[in-house]
Amino acid sequence: MACPVSIICRALRNVGLVLFYYVFSIGITFYNKWLMKGFHFPLFMTLVHLTIIFCLSALTRCAMQCWTRKPRVTLGWKEYLYKVAPTALATALDIGLSNWSFLFITISLYTMTKSSAVLFILFFSLVFKLEEPNPFLILVVLLIASGLFMFTLKSTQFNLEGFIMVLLASFIGGIRWTLTQVLMQKAELGLQNPIDTMYHLQPLMFLGLFPLFVLNEGLGLSTTEKLFRVSELQPLLYSLLTLSVGGTLAFGLGFSEFLLVSRTSSLTLSIAGIFKEVCTLLLAVGFMGDKMSMVNWLGFVVCLSGISLHVGLKTYYSKGNVTSVILFFSSLIMLLLSVLTKTFSVALKKKTSPEFIIFQRGNQISRCVILTKK
């Protein structure tokens, strides 16, 4: 039987990794959306981010080598091209298409569509035998995906072009994180450290995305007054500064993602990512004044139930306590649904729709519930 102290320490470590990932992931989502309002070159932005990530990874490797007095791993060309290139190409396309879609869609639609990545990750994890197939895992995925869909229902503005981009990015993302897990768990490659993995991936990612950038943004970027045709120094410095901040956030995001997937699994990352997307939408409600319907909050409860079920199964499945865990989390789901139903029962009887709004009084921001008649 495992020591309770070790279990608590492992749980705290995992929670810390997830929170570390949330800070950079949520931050860069809002930052990229804000930047795309005035800078319409997402692929160039991604290339700048890749360059900054490579430089920061190289500096970090040098610092680690000086500190430990041990040389860092450097792959040969054969291993680099045959084993790293597929992961690098999938990662570049996933990130590039995701950033590109911000030109067309809202954060809500992006979040809803990107959540489908968990289905592709599950599929490829089963193909590569990284996850054990069982019906409860499928139930977890269905609960989370359907819950997030309900959470964003009727709160998005549909755009076909952006939707296709994010859906394609989600599919490629399933390949990306499955290959990343395989890459980092191969002991002979020596890429268990996230910094080493990022250092080796960035050059191939840059080369893989560069042709797409030239075809779609090359001419426009060469004639824009924000960079190459700038007439004053201040706008140029501002553009370089904003791109550099995004690159730093991207480095932190990449490091936290690789760290999380190397210590857990690609599916665990996707599950944590789903809850992160829910937090993103809640922040969007708080800062943008978005309205939430009862269907949206019902989806929120379903999503949290799926995450809770996954945590329970992940923790106790190997101990043979599957039945008790399922009963416990089934009761939790029913309890959450019961609370939600009671919360909105008055609104249903009066044919009203509850909406959460944000108002500001001085420097204090408060939340209240109002009932608006249809």
Helix (H, G, I), strand (E, B) or coil at 372: strand
Better-predicted residue by pLDDT, 199 or 13: 199
Read off the pLDDT of each residue in 99-120 and give the average, rounded to a whole number: 77
The helix or strand, by DSSP H or E, that contains position 353, with its residue range, turns out to be strand 352-361
31-52 pLDDT, tens per residue? 888 888 878 888 998 999 999 9
Percent of the chain scored above 90 by pLDDT?
A: 9
The structure tokens listed for 180 are: 């990343």
Write down the mean pLDDT value for the chain. 74
Read off the pLDDT of each residue in 134-152 and give the average, rounded to a whole number: 76
Length of the chain (residues):
374
Read off the pLDDT of each residue in 60-74 and give the average, rounded to a whole number: 88
pLDDT score, position 352: 44
Contacts of 170 (CB under 8 A, 6+ apart): 113, 114, 115, 116, 117, 120
Q: Report the distance separating Cα 21 and Cα 19, nearest Å.
A: 5
pLDDT score, position 194: 77
pLDDT score, position 276: 80
- 204 pLDDT exceeds 90? yes
User: Would you tell me how many other CB atoms lie within 10 Å of the CB of residue 240?
Assistant: 12
pLDDT score, position 185: 72
Better-predicted residue by pLDDT, 54 or 275: 54
Percent of the chain scored above 70 by pLDDT?
A: 72
Instruction: Please give the full DSSP string across 164-194, using - where no structure is assigned.
Output: HHHHHHHHHHHHHHHHHHHHHT-TTTT--SH
Choice among 70-84, 176-190, 353-367 with the minimum mean pLDDT? 353-367
Residue of 112, 110, 105, 98 whose CA lies nearest to 147: 112
Helix axes 85-101, 107-114, angle to 10 degrees: 150
Choice among 216-225, 246-255, 363-372 with the minimum mean pLDDT? 363-372
Where residue 55 falls among pLDDT bands split at 50, 70, 90? very high
Q: Do the Cβ atoms of 97 and 168 come closer than 8 Å? A: yes
Choice among 172-181, 293-302, 320-329 with the minimum mean pLDDT? 320-329
- 54 pLDDT exceeds 90? yes
Rounded to the nearest angstrom, the gap between the alpha carbon of residue 141 and the centroid of all alpha carbons in its chain is 16
228-263 pLDDT, tens per residue? 676 777 777 888 888 899 889 989 887 887 778 777
Angle at the Cα of 245 from the Cα atoms of 239 and 247, rounded to 5 degrees: 100
The structure tokens listed for 343 are: 């919360």
Where residue 354 falls among pLDDT bands split at 50, 70, 90? very low
259-277 pLDDT, tens per residue? 787 777 655 666 677 678 7
Q: Report the distance separating Cα 133 and Cα 95, nearest Å.
A: 28
Q: Report the distance separating Cα 110 and Cα 158, nearest Å.
A: 10
